[in-house]
């Protein structure tokens, strides 16, 4: 069986998403709570999120749907996905499969990132408007990975305090 975790990392890179770009988002979400937060700690948390099977499958599914839309192979729903139709909503729902296994801090941060679109998320959305490029699923996937990593940092820090 294919190593889906490795494959999902490779696909993210191929689609222009670097772990370092996601780490900046995580850092910005958590820096106000931890004075000593380092970017390396954010990268570590992202890697833990990416190691989850739920994440790997959501990443692979979302990216394949974006690519399929670019290739015009989604029949009647191609236009909806390619144009990132605002009432479609299934892109957010797919990304929630990552958020759902990382608790309520992940959920609230997901909504925040989806609304404010900082850094790489805004860039993905802008690039997705270009001809032949579709990032309808990818931007939500990145929101989900960043918000889940932020949640991991918050929970791990609480555990460190109480142990
Ligand atoms: Mg989207």
Distance from the alpha carbon of residue 32 to the mean position of ligand 1, in angstroms: 27
Query: How many CB atoms within 10 Å of residue 123?
Result: 17
Check if the beta carbon of residue 131 is closer than 8 Å to that of residue 145. Answer: no
CATH code of 12's domain: 1.10.3760.10
Q: What is the pLDDT of residues 107-117, one digit of tens each?
A: 999 999 999 99
Cα separation values, 73 from 23, 41, 52, Å: 33, 40, 29
At residue 163 the predicted structure's pLDDT band, cuts being 50, 70 and 90, is: low
Alpha helices in 3-77, H assignment, sequence order: 4-14, 19-30, 39-50, 53-70
Q: What is the pLDDT of residues 109-160, one digit of tens each?
A: 999 999 999 999 999 999 999 999 999 999 999 999 999 999 999 998 878 7
pLDDT of residue 159: 80
On whether the pTM is more than 0.85, the answer is: yes
Number of domains in the chain: 1
Distance from the alpha carbon of residue 17 to the mean position of ligand 1, in angstroms: 15
Distance from the alpha carbon of residue 61 to the mean position of ligand 1, in angstroms: 13
Which residue range forms the structural domain that includes residue 114? 4-162
pLDDT of residue 160: 79
């Amino acid at each position: 069986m294919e190593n889906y975790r490795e494959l999902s990392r490779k696909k993210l890179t191929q689609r222009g998403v670097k772990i370092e770009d996601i780490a900046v988002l995580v850092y910005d979400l958590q820096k106000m709570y931890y004075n000593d937060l380092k970017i390396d700690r954010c990268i570590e948390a992202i890697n833990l999120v990416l190691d989850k099977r739920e994440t790997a499958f959501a990443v692979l599914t979302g990216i394949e749907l974006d690519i399929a839309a670019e290739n015009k192979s989604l029949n009647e729903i191609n236009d909806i996905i390619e144009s990132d139709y605002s009432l479609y909503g299934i892109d957010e729902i797919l990304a929630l499969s990552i958020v759902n296994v990382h608790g309520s801090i992940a959920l609230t941060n997901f909504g925040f990132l989806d609304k404010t679109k900082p850094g790489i998320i805004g860039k993905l959305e802008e690039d997705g408007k270009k001809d032949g490029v579709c990032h309808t699923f990818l931007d939500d996937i990145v929101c989900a990975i960043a918000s889940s990593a932020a949640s991991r940092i918050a929970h791990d820090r609480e555990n460190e305090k109480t142990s």
